[in-house]
Structures are given as structure tokens and as C-alpha cells.
Amino acid sequence: MLLFITACGGGGGSGNDSGKAGATTGKAGSTKTAASKAVVTIAPKNGAAAVDTSGALKVTAAEGKLTSVVVKDSKGNAVKGAIATGGGSWAPSETLGTSTKYTVDAVAKDTDGRESAKHATFTTVVPKGEFVGTFTPEDGSTVGTGMEVSLNFTHAIAEADKKAVEQAIQVTASPSVPVAGRWYGNQRIDFRPEKYWAAGTKVTLSLHLKGVKGAPGIYGTQHKDVHFTIGRSQVSIVDAAKHTMKVYRSGKLIKTLPITAGAPGKTTWNGKMVISEKHLVTRMDGATVGYGGEYDIPDVPHAMRLTTSGTFLHGNYWASASTFGSANVSHGCVGLRDVKGGGSTSTPAAWVYNNSIIGDVVQVKNSKDHTVQWYNGLNGWNLSWSQWTKAS
């Protein structure tokens, strides 16, 4: 007791009235011991369950400014976010994961520098189902100048959730160019720049779909980056009326070849088509494309797919040599002279196959048919940039 009185009395028996605790500290001492006026609010409430992965988490401060907000999952991984200008609020910059417990620790200061802290925990929603996007092209690949980034989702995306899904996907390029996406139906979205990619461009597809709602109760699971490179620029022009194919490399003509295109009534689509598959030998059955019984060739050589519906650029060993460059006799494909088995490297078909990569462009003109639909393959180049971005 004596020690306590001596300490509070300021040095022993001065005879004034300042012996009361805290009296000598005056106004400054009062400020230090008073509670902070800052009030921290965390949404959702402490202990909340089945919290949505997007839009539900927010931290705010009244009568003060936030100085620190730390949000972590049960494994200690931090959630990225930022305090708004002025310090009044904090929000995450990424989507939360599903079925995950999070902790929130926030600190704010009032105008006198006094701190106020708050802690909360919550658990996110357990999904009824999940979805992923299968993508083209493959990670690490080198592709042609016309390659589009195409994703097909394993679950239909609800109309109300398409915007969130699209915003969770980024396609960036070096050197940088604007890239936009366009939906086809509710399970596919394609991305492309305004013009063909420049040779040497490095492209990155970033999938931040983890925790993104795609439909009621359905959430994405992917969080990954995919990288690919644009190789040399090659565009081939097929003239169905002249029965020729001219191959241009970096804008310069390097080869002219005789071809056969679709016969009357079975004409080849016009338009820009992108090579999406290559097969040294493949089977072509007319029954799969509406020509049941008309042909079934088990060993079509040097085949390269141009449309989903079955248009190919391929070798042809069954037509006479005089057909190429003079007549259109196919069921809609573009044919080049070849040999059975595709073993020769000296035929026109072999040359084109060996000098083409996935993503190269084959443009057909002067065929008595319509322009191919943009979604029939990786053929969005048949829409103008304004048409493409209008639906983005």
C-alpha cells in the first residue's frame, strides 16, 4: 500500500491535492486510457455458415480508418484484398473457395490514434456441384496466327452468372493487344484479338474460376495459368473457282498448289477457318456428317480439321491426278493430291501437312456456298471486331 501511494503521490508529501491517481497526467493521460472511437464491422457475422464465395465478405470502419485487414483460410493462405482510399472499407480482390473456414482480423484507428480490433470466423457454402473449363490450345504449345482461346465448360452456365465467369477468365498477350470473349450457348466461350496474332506473341490464359458461381449451387474449381506462343504467320487462300491453294508465310507467297473442293450440291464453306486438329491418317465416314452410305474411307491421309461439322483439308489418293486444279468433286472438304497411306513426303498433301501447325488459317473464297458460322470450329475471324465485341 505504501509503495502504491508513493508512486501515485509524485515523490512524497508536497502538500498539494494532486495525490489522486491519474491527476498529474492531466488531459494527455485521459486520452491514452480512453477507448477508441473507431468501430470495426465485419460481414458476414462471426460464426456464419454457408456464406457465398463472392460479394459477402466486407470489412468497414466507422469513426476511424482501417489500418490492417488479414483474412486467411484454415491452411493459412491469405486472401488478397485492398483497403479503399480513405480507409473506410476493405474487400477481397479474389473469389473465396467453397467449403472453407476463414478467419478475419481487422484493426482501425480513430483520429487520436487509438486502435480498435475485431476478430471473426465464417465458413463458405458447400457446393451441390462443380464445373471446370476444358481449353484450347494446350499449355506450352506453339500455334498459328489464327488460334482462338476456346473454353468448354462441364456444366451449363446460368445467364445471370455468365458475367462473373467471363470476368474470372483473362487472356493477356505480350506484346499487349485487346482481347475479348464471346459466348456460344451456355457452355462455351471463345477469346480472340481484333486481328490475327502477331508472330512471336506470348499469350497467357488465366483461369480464376475457383469459387466462382456458374449456376445455383454450382461453383468452379480451377485456378491456373496456361501459356502458349504464336509461331510464324501462315495464311492459305483456297480459290474454289480456280481450284488453287496459295500459301502465304509472313505475307509472302511461298507455294501454289492444285486442289479440289466441294462438288455442286456439296459445296465447301466460304470464309476463314482455323486448323484445330492434325491426323497423319484418319477414317472419314459420310454417315457422321449427313452423307450416309456415300463414302467410308478408313485411311484418309494428311487430314487437318477446319470445322466442327466435318470440313477438312486432307490428302486424296482415290481421285485421278487430273482432278486437282480442274474440278470440284469432294463432299465439302478441300482435297490435295496424295498417295494411299500418306507415306510419301513429295505429294502436295504431304507438303501442306508438314508445313502447317494447329492455329494456321485456311481461307476459302469463290465457293457457291455461305460463309462458315463463327462457332463451327475456331472460326470467329468471320465476324468483324464490332460484331465480336458487341456480345462480349
Residue 162 — pLDDT band, cuts 50, 70, 90?
Answer: very high
**Bridge partners of residue 172, in order along the sequence:** 204
Q: What is the pTM of this model?
A: 0.85
Is 8 a residue of the active site?
A: no
One domain for residues 136 and 98: no
Query: What's the mean pLDDT in 102-131?
Result: 97
Three cell numbers, residue 371: 460463309
CB 97 within 8 A of CB 55: no
Query: Can you say how many angstroms the Cα of residue 219 is from the centroid of all Cα atoms in its chain?
Result: 16
* pLDDT, averaged across the chain: 91
The mean pLDDT of 14-33, rounded to a whole number, is: 42
Same domain, 226 and 292: no
User: For 64-187, where are the E strands, in sequence order?
Assistant: 65-73, 81-83, 89-92, 101-109, 115-124, 129-131, 133-136, 142-143, 149-153, 169-174, 179-184
Asked if residue 131 lies in contact with residue 146, where contact means CB atoms within 8 angstroms, the answer is: no
Which among 200, 231, 262 is the end of a domain? 231
Q: Does pLDDT of 18 surpass 70?
A: no
Whether residue 28 is predicted with pLDDT greater than 50 in this model: the reply is: no
Q: Are residues 350 and 245 in the same domain?
A: yes
Task: State yes or no: pLDDT of 3 exceeds 70.
Answer: no
* Edge-to-edge order in the sheet of strand 129-131: 129-131, 218-220, 213-215
Residue 1 has pLDDT above 50, yes or no: no
> What's the grid cell of residue 382?
468471320
Catalytic residue, chosen from 243, 302, 331, 333, is 333
Please check the confidence at residue 290 and state whether its pLDDT lies above 50.
yes
Domain boundary residue, one of 215, 231, 247: 231
Residues 6+ apart with CB under 8 A from 62: 38, 39, 41
Rounded Cα distance, 370 and 365, in Å: 10
Q: Are 108 and 136 members of one domain?
A: no
pLDDT band at 340 (very low <50, low <70, confident <90, very high): very high
> 168-188, pLDDT tens digit by residue?
999 999 999 999 999 999 999
Q: Are residues 101 and 192 in the same domain?
A: no
365 assigned to some structural domain: yes
CATH number of the domain at 144, please.
2.60.40.3710
Concerning whether 333 is annotated as a catalytic residue, the answer is yes
| Predicted pLDDT at 243 | 98
Same structural domain for residues 222 and 238?
Answer: no
If one counts the domains in the chain, the total is 3
Q: Are residues 105 and 76 in the same domain?
A: yes
Q: How confident is the model at residue 25 (pLDDT cuts 50, 70, 90)?
A: very low
pLDDT value at 24 more than 50 = no
Q: For 264, how many CA atoms within 13 A lie in the half-sphere containing its CB? A: 1
Radius of gyration of the chain (CA): 33
Active-site residue (options: 223, 314, 331, 370): 314
Mean pLDDT to the nearest integer, 217-239:
97
156, part of any domain: yes
* Structural domain span for residue 172: 129-231
pLDDT in tens, 357-390: 999 999 999 999 999 999 999 999 999 999 999 9
Q: What is the pLDDT of residue 352?
A: 98
- Extract the C-alpha cell encoding 344: 510419301
Domain boundary among 196, 231, 266: 231
